[in-house]
């Protein structure tokens, strides 16, 4: 059966190019590639395999289950788990040789009580310097490090923190976080704790705060060809890896004054032709985009008419020669033109992270 529906085209060649551009930019400091949430919607397994071939040795996911998926797909690189320690998953962590995030004193107690049967788990210790999410408050770091140091079944491979505002123009708060983290590093040295991996930089910090790069950097969005905000340097010539398209499934003539879609918030101003596109917000089309949004076909901007439905959206095609089965561009780049996901995100007051990770399970992913 021929497939009629939304498609997500993933350009793995561009992914690799982005990786090398980023690696060159940072002087070949190792990169921890973040592939959580199905590789930001790009496909965690396919992305991980492509990057592993290029020498990436550190991958990060959010859950143990995401890590197991990569192991079962044959991924050999180190896999780091971002989430809060799950005490019920430690057997699986040991079995699949995953690396844990340890972010509280309670986590340490769980590790002390667990029988690892001779296994040693690699862990990264997380310090909260101002994100107020996971991590031990920086002013309790010394006690935390001392207790972690006394647990025989773990290897402290990493020490890290996470910035809250590194992708913003005002870096005052980010700098204060970095200062606190540097104080923690002094404490670790005093305790003779020397983790081989020290990391703070996310995508925003890589561009805005180069002094935070240390000897490992975590990045996701830059690899996928998007910038974390419009307040970071856009000079790095990365390009989007994802292109989202969908087919026209009906074309109909409508009169002036015709209400279109839910709520009737859009009314045609003249006689025209409306095309129904088979993709909706369940597939990843951002619903607020209908207000100012458009799709592209043969380099023409075709206005979205009315609210995006769960499975479909409507566009005003006027006299454009467009037929059943013709595909329109929702975002990305192809022969029809370019619609940057960052521009959509800015227009609807969202982020590129939200848009690419919102791609649903129905769109067919096509890799090249």
Distance, in Å, from the CA atom of 82 to the CA atom of 180, rounded to the nearest integer, reads: 21
Distance, in Å, from the CA atom of 282 to the CA atom of 309, rounded to the nearest integer, reads: 8
Which residues does the annotation mark as catalytic?
36, 262
Distance, in Å, from the CA atom of 162 to the CA atom of 166, rounded to the nearest integer, reads: 9
Q: What pLDDT is recorded for position 255?
A: 98
Which pLDDT tens digit goes with each residue over 14-33? 999 999 999 999 998 999 99
Domain boundaries, the chain: 12-219, 242-367
- Give the strand order in the sheet containing 58-61: 78-81, 58-61, 31-34, 217-219
Which pLDDT tens digit goes with each residue over 194-207? 999 999 999 999 99
What is the topology classification, in CATH, of domain 242-367?
Answer: Lyase, Ornithine Decarboxylase; Chain A, domain 1 (2.40.37)
Give the CATH number of domain 12-219.
3.20.20.10
Beta bridge partners of 60: 34, 80
pLDDT tens string for the chain (368 positions)? 789 999 999 999 999 999 999 999 999 899 999 999 999 999 999 999 999 999 999 999 999 999 999 999 999 999 999 999 999 999 999 999 999 999 999 999 999 999 888 889 999 999 999 999 999 999 999 999 999 999 989 999 999 999 999 999 999 999 999 999 999 999 999 999 999 999 999 999 999 999 999 999 999 999 999 999 989 999 999 999 999 999 999 999 999 999 999 999 999 999 999 999 999 999 999 999 999 999 999 999 999 999 999 999 999 999 999 999 999 999 999 999 999 999 999 999 999 999 999 999 999 999 99
Same fold, 12-219 and 242-367: no
């Amino acid at each position: 059966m021929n497939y009629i529906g939304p498609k997500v085209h993933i350009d793995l060649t561009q992914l690799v190019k982005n990786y090398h551009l980023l690696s060159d930019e940072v002087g070949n400091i190792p990169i921890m590639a973040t592939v959580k949430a199905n590789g930001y919607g790009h496909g965690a397994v396919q992305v991980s395999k492509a990057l592993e071939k290029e020498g990436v040795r550190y991958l990060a996911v959010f859950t143990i289950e995401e890590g197991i998926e990569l192991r079962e797909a044959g991924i050999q690189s180190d896999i780091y788990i971002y989430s809060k320690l799950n005490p019920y998953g430690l057997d699986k962590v040991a079995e699949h040789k995953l690396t844990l995030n340890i972010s509280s004193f309670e986590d340490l107690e769980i590790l002390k009580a667990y029988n690892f049967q001779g296994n040693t788990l690699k862990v990264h210790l997380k310090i909260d310097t101002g994100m107020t999410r996971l991590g031990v408050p920086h002013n309790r770091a010394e006690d935390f490090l001392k207790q972690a140091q006394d647990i025989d079944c773990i290897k402290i491979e990493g020490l890290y923190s996470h910035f809250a505002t590194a992708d913003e123009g005002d870096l005052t708060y980010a700098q204060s976080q970095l200062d606190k983290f540097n104080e923690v590093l002094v404490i670790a040295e005093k305790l003779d704790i020397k983790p081989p991996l020290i990391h703070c930089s996310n995508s925003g910090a890589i561009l805005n705060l180069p002094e935070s790069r240390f000897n490992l950097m975590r990045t996701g969005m830059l690899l996928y060809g998007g910038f974390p905000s419009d307040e970071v340097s856009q000079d790095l010539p990365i390009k989007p890896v994802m292109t989202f398209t969908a087919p026209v499934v009906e074309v109909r003539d409508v009169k002036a004054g015709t209400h279109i879609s839910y709520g009737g918030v859009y009314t045609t101003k003249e006689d025209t032709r409306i095309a129904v596109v088979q993709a909706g917000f369940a597939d990843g089309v951002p619903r607020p985009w209908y207000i100012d949004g458009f799709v592209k076909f043969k380099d023409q901007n075709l206005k979205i008419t009315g609210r995006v439905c769960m499975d479909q959206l409507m566009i005003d095609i006027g006299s454009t020669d467009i037929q059943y089965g013709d595909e329109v561009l929702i975002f990305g780049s192809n022969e029809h033109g370019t619609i940057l996901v960052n521009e959509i995100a800015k227009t609807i007051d969202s982020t590129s992270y939200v848009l690419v990770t919102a791609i649903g399970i129905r769109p067919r992913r096509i890799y090249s």
